[in-house]
Amino acid sequence: MENDASAVIDAKPPQSLTDPLTDPFTPPADSSLWRTNFLLGAATASYQIEGAATEDGRLPSIWDTFSATPGKVLAGDTGALACDHYHRWEEDVNLLAGLGLEAYRLSTAWPRVMDENGAPNHKGLDFYKRLLGRLKEKGISTFVTLYHWDLPQHLEDRGGWLNRDTAYRFADYADLMSRELHGLVDAWATLNEPWCSAYLGYGNGHHAPGLANGRFATQAMHHLLLAHGLAIPVLHANDPRSLKGLVANVGRGTPNSESAGDRRAAELYEVQHNAWILDPLFKGEYPQDLVELWPGTEPLVLEGDMQTIAAPLDFLGINYYFRTSLASDGAHGFRDVPLEGVERTQMGWEVYPDGLRDLLIGFKETYANLPPIYITENGMASNDEVVDGRVEDTQRISFLKRHLAAVDQAIKAGVDVRGYFLWSLMDNFEWAFGYERRFGIVHIDYATQKRTIKRSAELVAKFLKDRNARAQ
C-alpha cells in the first residue's frame, strides 16, 4: 500500500464512530455486492507476513537490507519473523476458509524462488505450490502478485530498477513462476503499486532501497513498467487460462480552494499519482504534465518500449486509501494542506470514501480501453487491542461499509468492478512503520503469533453467509 511517512499526522476518529453499531456491514438490498459473481476477499504480501527470511535458500531482499539499517523503520522492526506465515500457512488458509472469503490475494517472494544465477530454488517454489494447492482445495480464488517490493538485493547491487537489465530479469522470474504454478493461479498481477516502488523507493527515500533523486524515480518507473510489459506475453504463453493485470495505487486530490492555482495543484497531484502509471498502460505514453512537475527528469525510453508497456490487460487492480487536499506551491507543483475536523485513521490518512467512487468513474471516462477492475486493496489501520478475547474494531467496520457503498455507486454508474479485497487479512509488518500500525481483520499477537478474529471479520463472514443463503 502507499505508505509515505510524511502523510502521518496525529489525529483521532470522531467520537461517534466509537459508539456501538448494530450489524453495520450488511449492504442495502439493491447493492451490487449481493451478486454472487462479485468476489470478496482479503490480501497480504510476502515480506509483510512470511518471515523465514533466511530459511530454505531465500536470499536477502532490499527490504531486509533497508529495515536492518538504523533509523529506516519505526522501532527498528524488520520482516525477519513477521507473522511467521511461512510456517503457519495452513492455519492462515483455514482462517480464510472459515471466514468464507472467496478470494485471496498474495505475493510471491522473488528472493525465495531464484538464486543469483536465475536458477530455481525448489524449496521456495514448493512452499507456494503447497499454499496455492490448499487454497484451490478450499475453493478460494487465487490472485498472485509477482512483485510486492521485495527485490533481490543482488539485483539492487547492480542498480536495481535504475538498471534496464532488471526488467529482463523480472521477465525471467515471471517465466519461472508461471511455468511452475501453472493451473494454481486464477489471476496474475505483475507489479504492486509501481508508484511506491519508484517514488518512495527512488524519489524520496522513504522506502527501500532508500534513494532520493527525481530522475531516479522516473527512470525506475519506466523500467518497472517495462518489466510489466515484458512479463505479460510470458504469462499468456505459460498460463493462458489465467487473468493478467497490474495493481496501481491511486490517490484522490481535491483543491484546497476554488482558485485556479489550487485547482491546477489538484490536477497535477492526480497526474503524479495516477496518470504517471495509467497513461502508459492505456494510452502508450507518459503524461506531458510530468515535465511541468519534474522538469529535466524524463526517463530514457527506447524504441518500442511504450508499445511493450501498453500490452492489453485482462484486469486492473486498484488500491485506494485516502484523499489529499492540495494547494499551489507558488511555482509549478503542489503542497498538501491537511484538513481540520475530518475523520482519520491511525496512519493519519483522511477517510474519504467518495474519492474511490470518483476515481473509478473518472478512469472509465478517461481510458476507453479500461479493462475490468478489482479493488485489490482497501482498508485502514487502527490501534486494535484484544480485550477479553475480542477485538471491537468499530471504525474499521464503518470504514469498510462506506467504501463498499462507494464501489456499489461506481458500479451503478457503469464501472465494471468485479471484486474487492480487504487490506489486510492480518496485522503485519507495515513497511517503514514496522508493527505499530494494524491493518488486519485478524489480530496478530507478535509475541505469541496468536491469531484473533476481529469483529470486522465476523461481520464480513456473516454477510458472505447471508449472501450464499440468499442465492440458494
C-alpha cell at 25: 456491514
Distances (CA, A) of 445 to 45, 77, 389, 425: 18, 15, 12, 14
Residue 192 is labelled as binding a ligand? yes
- 423 carries a ligand binding annotation: yes
Rounded to whole angstroms, how far apart are CA atoms 177 and 238? Answer: 9
Concerning whether 193 is annotated as a catalytic residue, the answer is yes
- SS3 letters across the chain: CCCCHHHCCCCCCCHHHHCCCCCCCCCCCCCHHHCCCCEEEEECCHHHHCCCCCCCCCCCEHHHHHHCCCCCCHHHCCCCCCCCHHHHHHHHHHHHHHHCCCEEEEECCHHHHECCCCCECHHHHHHHHHHHHHHHHCCCEEEEEEECCCCEHHHHCCCHHHCCHHHHHHHHHHHHHHHHCCCCCCEEEEEECHHHHHHHHHHCCCCCCCCCCHHHHHHHHHHHHHHHHHHHHHHHHHCCCCEEEEEEEEEEEEECCCCHHHHHHHHHHHHHHHHHHHHHHHHCCCCCHHHHHCCCCCCCCCCCHHHHHCCCCCEEEEEEEEEEEEEECCCCCEEECCCCCCCECCCCCECCHHHHHHHHHHHHHHCCCCCCEEEEEECCCECCCCECCECCCHHHHHHHHHHHHHHHHHHHCCCCEEEEEEECCECCCCHHHCCCCECCCEEEECCCCEEEECHHHHHHHHHHHHHHHHHC
Cell 536495481, located at residue: 160
Question: What count of Cα atoms within 13 Å lies in the side-chain half-sphere of residue 465?
Answer: 9
- From 156, 180, 270, 377, active-site residue: 377
Does the annotation list 446 as a binding residue?
Answer: no
Alpha-carbon distances of 312 from 239, 242, 282, 307, 387, rounded to whole Å: 16, 14, 8, 10, 49
Catalytic choice (102, 180, 193, 343):
193
| Binding-site residue set for substrate | 48, 148, 192, 321, 423, 430-431
Q: Give the residue numbers marked as catalytic.
A: 193, 377
| Binding-site residue set | 48, 148, 192, 321, 423, 430-431
